[in-house]
Amino acid sequence: MLKEEKVYVSRDKELRVEIIQSHYDMLVAGHGEKWKMTELVIWNYWWPEVIRDVRRYVEGYDMCERMKNQTEIPAGRLKLSEVLENYRHI
């Protein structure tokens, strides 16, 4: 069935996951961010909550989560500020 020239996907959860997975695993997609993935999926397919389903899939994709670079600098050791050190001597 078509909805606005897109294939309407039934409530079959496995089929929806397979569609998202096939787009996500394409080399062209490069395991992109959720908005890029959503755009790729809704180019040809539609179902209620498609954006939510793609977001959950991308955020929950274990391999990508493990392969992400650390963007935060490790906190390191805590140091007393100069104000506290000076206060102790009074």
Mean pLDDT per segment of 10 residues, for the chain of length 90 residues?
A: 78 91 66 75 90 85 61 71 60
Between CA 59 and CA 64 the distance in angstroms is 9
pLDDT at 16: 92
Domain residue ranges in the chain: 2-66
Dihedrals φ, ψ of 6, to 5°? -125, 150
**The pLDDT value given to residue 12:** 92
> What pLDDT score does 38 carry?
84
